[in-house]
Amino acid sequence: MSSQVEIHVVDSVSDIPAVQWDALTQGNPFVAHAFVSALHDSQCASAQTGWQPRYLLLREDGALTGAMPLYLKTHSRGEYVFDHAWADAFQRHGLRYYPKLVSAVPFSPVTGPRLLAATHTARVLLARGAIALAQQLEVSSIHVLFSHEADLQALTEAGYMLREGVQFHWENAAYTSFDTFLALMNHDKRKKIRQDRRRVADAGVSFRWLRGAEIDAGTLGFFYECYANTYREHWNPPYLSEAFFFQLHATMPDAIMLVLAERDGERLACALNVIAGDTMYGRYWGTRAFISGLHFETCYMQGIEYCIENQLASFEGGAQGVHKMSRGLLPTATWSAHWIAEPQFAEAIARFLGRETAVMEQHMGELEAHTPFKRAQGLPE
C-alpha cells in the first residue's frame, strides 16, 4: 500500500518538536532547531528584516520525513551569493525580481543541508515543492545557497541550475602541534606567519579560548560589543542582535567557542566560532583597537591552533578571502542552485552560469597552483 505524502508550509519551527526537526539535520548546527529558533525568536530573521519564513514540511503518513528552510525575501542582503546583477536586469526589462524565495541560513555563508531528508526521493519532492510554492506566490525565482553535496543531484533533477563559488577551508593533516603545521608551509609563508604572530605578542596581546559554560554573560556581552562595532565602522547596522547570541549560548552552549584577546588584563578583541562534530566554523569578530596582525591572529591562527590541540578535522574560515591562503586555508568549491520562473531570463542566466563556471574552474586551478605548502610535504626546503 502506498504512503500518503503531503507538503505544507509553516512560518515557524516553534510548533515542530526539536527532536523531530533535528533528526533531519545531519548534525549541522546552522539548521538545528535551536539555531533557527534563536534567529526567529530574536526577530533577526523575520518579515520585518526581509526574511519571512516559508518553511516546507514533508510528511509521509503523518510523520515528518523532510523539511526545507525557505524564506520570502525582499532584498539580497545577508546571503553572500550575489545576484544584484540579475535583479538589475529584471528591473531594466520592467520585471519584478523581489520578492524571491531563498533557502539559506540567514547571515551565515556555511555549506550544509538545505533539503533536510534522508532519501533522494524526499529531497526531490522538497525541491519540486519549493517550485510549486514559487508558482503559487508568483515570485521571480528560488535560490538555494551553500547547498550540501547530497542536495545537488536532487536540485538538478528538479530543474534548478547550479552556480559554483569558492571559500577557503583548513584541513587537519593529523598535525601534532602548530609547529608541525608551520613546518609544512613554504619558507615565505611560514616566515610571514611567525612575524605576524610575534608582532601581536610584542604588542602585549595574549589569548584565551572559552567554550560553553566557560563563557559568562560579561564575556559574551563584550563579544557583541566588538561584533556590533565592526558593523558600525562600515556604516551598517549589525545583522544579528545581542538577544540572538545570548539565546544561542543558552540553548547550544557547547557549539560556541570564543577566542578572547587581552592586553594588560583588559579585553581587546574577540572572535566567535561554532563547533559541531569535528568541524569548526569561523563566524564573527570585532575589536576595540587596531593592532597590526590582530585580525588574522584572532580569527585564523588561534582557530587553527585550537583545532590542532583539540583534534578537529577542519576549520571553515567564512566567506571569500584569497588572502586566507597565506594562512594555510585552501580553496574549496561551494555550490548554490537557482530556479528562474521567467523562461527567457532562465535561458539567459543558464548561459551566464555556463560562462561563469568555466571561469571559476580556471580560477580554482590557478589558486590550487599557488598552494602555501611545500610541494613535497614533509621534505625540508
Mean pLDDT by 10 residues, the chain (381 residues): 85 92 96 97 95 96 95 95 95 96 96 96 98 98 96 98 96 96 94 95 97 97 94 88 97 97 96 96 91 94 97 90 90 96 96 96 92 63 41
Q: Count CB-CB contacts under 10 A for residue 100.
A: 26
Same domain, 160 and 26: yes
pLDDT, tens digit (0-9, with 9 covering 90-100), for 330-358 = 999 999 999 999 999 999 999 999 999 99
Same domain, 82 and 144: yes
Q: Which DSSP category does 148 fall into?
A: -
Same domain, 185 and 262: yes
Residues in contact with 227: Cβ distance below 8 Å, sequence separation at least 6, in sequence order: 238, 240, 245, 270, 272, 284, 285, 286
Cβ atoms of 297 and 200 within 8 Å: the answer is: yes
pLDDT recorded at residue 2: 67
**DSSP H or E segment with residue 171:** strand 161-171
C-alpha–C-alpha distance, residues 108 and 276, integer Å: 15
Same domain, 216 and 251: yes
Same domain, 181 and 240: yes
Alpha carbon separation from 343 to 108, 141, 144, 302, 320 (Å, rounded): 30, 11, 19, 49, 31
Same domain, 84 and 208: no
Inside any domain, residue 320: no
Closest C-alpha to 258, from 279, 292, 286, 229: 286
Please state the domain count of the chain: 2
pLDDT recorded at residue 375: 61
Same domain, 9 and 51: yes
**DSSP H or E segment with residue 151:** helix 149-157
Alpha carbon separation from 317 to 75, 131, 135, 210, 325 (Å, rounded): 25, 32, 37, 19, 10
Looking at every residue in the chain, the average pLDDT score rounds to 94
pLDDT recorded at residue 285: 92
Same domain, 142 and 215: no
C-alpha–C-alpha distance, residues 144 and 335, integer Å: 9
Inside any domain, residue 303: yes
- Residue 243 φ/ψ, nearest 5 degrees: -60, -35
Inside any domain, residue 322: no
pLDDT recorded at residue 275: 97
- Taking phi over 0 as left and psi of -120 to 50 as alpha, with beta for the rest, 243 belongs to alpha
pLDDT recorded at residue 381: 41
C-alpha–C-alpha distance, residues 127 and 131, integer Å: 7
Inside any domain, residue 215: yes
Domain of 273? 173-312
Same domain, 12 and 157: yes
Residue type, 187: H
Residues in contact with 250: Cβ distance below 8 Å, sequence separation at least 6, in sequence order: none
Same domain, 303 and 360: no
Identify whether 343 is preceded by a cis peptide bond (ω within 30 of 0). no
Closest C-alpha to 182, from 167, 165, 196: 196
Q: Count CB-CB contacts under 10 A for residue 178.
A: 18
CATH number at residue 99: 3.40.630.30
HSE (CB half, 13 Å, CA atoms) of 113? 23
Alpha carbon separation from 365 to 92, 266, 328, 353, 369 (Å, rounded): 35, 45, 17, 18, 6
Inside any domain, residue 221: yes
pLDDT, tens digit (0-9, with 9 covering 90-100), for 100-140 = 999 999 999 999 999 999 999 999 999 999 999 999 999 99
Inside any domain, residue 83: yes
Same domain, 210 and 352: no
Inside any domain, residue 376: no
Inside any domain, residue 327: no
Same domain, 344 and 292: no
